Amino acid sequence: MEKWFVNKNVLYLSLSAFFADAGYQTVIALFPVFLVLFLKAPVYYLGVIYALQYGIGAVFAYLGGVLADRYSKKKVAIIGNSLIPILSFLGIAASLLLSPLLFLIGWWARDSRSPARRSLVALASDEKHRKKAFGVLHALDLGGGAVGIIYLIILLYFGVGYSILFLVTIIPLVISTLFIVKSNVNERVKAALKTKLNARKMAINKETMLGVLIATSLFGFSYYSLGYPILTIAQSSNDVFGVFSYLIFLLISAFAGYYLGSRAGKMKIISYLSLLGYALAGVGSLLIGIFYIFSLNIAIAYLGVLVLGFAVGAIETFEPTIISVTSPKDKSAKSFGYLSSSRSIGLFTGNLLMGILYFFNPFYSYFYAFLVSILAAVIVYLFGKRLVF
């Protein structure tokens, strides 16, 4: 077990992520189809909802991190996770006002617990295995999402109604919370363990953390919800093909997280984040845009989603690893809250712009995402090239 999962607490927390994504990733995949194709909402309305999802989510992520450090990381993680199933009731509401509201409340609960869970993973693993721990977390995280998409496709094929599809997601979400309850991580940090780096190295690492936060915020301007590619493909074919693209994204992203977390040398982590993360995500967005503008075979769109998935796997493995080794141990949840908030601030504007640009021409939105991703890659590389572990 040690070889694969580092230790049992990392395993429990990663399994919590597995079942959480098996629930809410299903909702994420189905929500844009439900809202635009079933409830007949305009695409820019979807963009507004995504902007609120991530914009206000930034506040919840920050507060969740602060409360986790002040009180208890485990308790904050349990409370936030237990409220996520609220989004499972949006299908019953079937309303252009209430359905998005339930979706948002459930997502904000998810945001509030993410810094606490990441901090628990960092505390549950030593620095030597930190990157692998976050790789495993991301692999099981999106692996669970892949399972959710598989059962969603099967249920869609058999014609199950939207309200039932959303309600089914409650089951894995409840199991997810039970795994956090089962974990037992020592949250007390000894002062002597905070850092052994000298003042100069601490300053360099602080600079690196700032660079990562700036870059992840900037990347957020381009890191749109996967609802857009799902919608693009669904409009070009049907909803099953659209949802299937999300399965591709989740599977390759899960693979990338585990593989890169296990293999990538720690001294190359900034280069990997810059090139395999942000820059590669830009290439994926560009491929999806090319698929649309030239009406190419759907395989091109799937290739773009695959590339984007690999890039996100790299980002979700390397970003938290860098934050965990460049921030004080006793303020780790707050630092992860900054990370989540930085991404969410960018996502607020990014999804709003994506919705507006998509309304005029989907290619504009994907090309915009490509340009901003490349800029984020340059920034994180320049800030982090002197990172000291």
Domains annotated for the chain, with CATH where assigned, are 2-183+194-384 (1.20.1250.20)
The number of CA neighbours under 13 Å toward the Cβ of 333 is 29
pTM for the predicted model, two decimal places: 0.74
Structure tokens at 268: 């190359």
Please tell me which residue, 166 or 52, carries the higher pLDDT value.
Answer: 166
pLDDT, position 147: 92
Q: How far apart are CA 273 and CA 268, in angstroms?
A: 9
User: 24 by DSSP, 3-state: which?
Assistant: helix
Q: What is the mean pLDDT of residues 338-354?
A: 70
Q: What is the mean pLDDT of residues 342-349?
A: 69
Taking Cα atoms as reference points, which of 329, 327, 321, 72 lies closest to residue 193?
329
Q: What is the mean pLDDT of the chain?
A: 81
Structure tokens at 51: 């902007």
Provide the percentage of residues in the chain whose pLDDT is more than 70.
Answer: 79
Q: How far apart are CA 19 and CA 377, in angstroms?
A: 31
pLDDT, position 338: 66
Length of the chain: 389
For 27-31, 299-303, 326-330, 371-375, which range has the lowest pLDDT when averaged over its residues? 326-330
Taking Cα atoms as reference points, which of 27, 210, 10, 199 lies closest to residue 120?
10
Structure tokens at 312: 């996100």
Q: What is the mean pLDDT of residues 173-184?
A: 95
pLDDT, position 389: 45
Question: Which one-letter DSSP state was computed for residue 237?
Answer: S
pLDDT, position 107: 94
Q: What is the mean pLDDT of residues 301-325?
A: 85
pLDDT, tens only, 106-158: 999 999 998 899 889 888 887 777 778 888 888 898 889 889 988 988 998 88
Among 22-36, 214-228, 268-282, 327-341, top mean pLDDT goes to 22-36
Taking Cα atoms as reference points, which of 108, 96, 109, 113 lies closest to residue 55?
108
With a cut of 90, say whether residue 288 has pLDDT above it. Answer: yes
pLDDT band at 192 (very low <50, low <70, confident <90, very high): very low
Q: Which residues contact 294 (CB under 8 A, 6 or more apart)?
A: none
Task: For the beta carbon of residue 39, count every other beta carbon within 10 angstroms.
Answer: 15
Structure tokens at 125: 């693993």
Q: What are phi and psi of 95, to 5 degrees?
A: -135, 140
Q: What is the mean pLDDT of residues 152-175?
A: 92
Task: For the beta carbon of residue 307, count every other beta carbon within 10 angstroms.
Answer: 21
pLDDT, tens only, 87-114: 999 999 989 999 999 999 999 999 999 8
Taking Cα atoms as reference points, which of 242, 229, 217 lies closest to residue 354?
229
With a cut of 50, say whether residue 194 has pLDDT above it. Answer: no
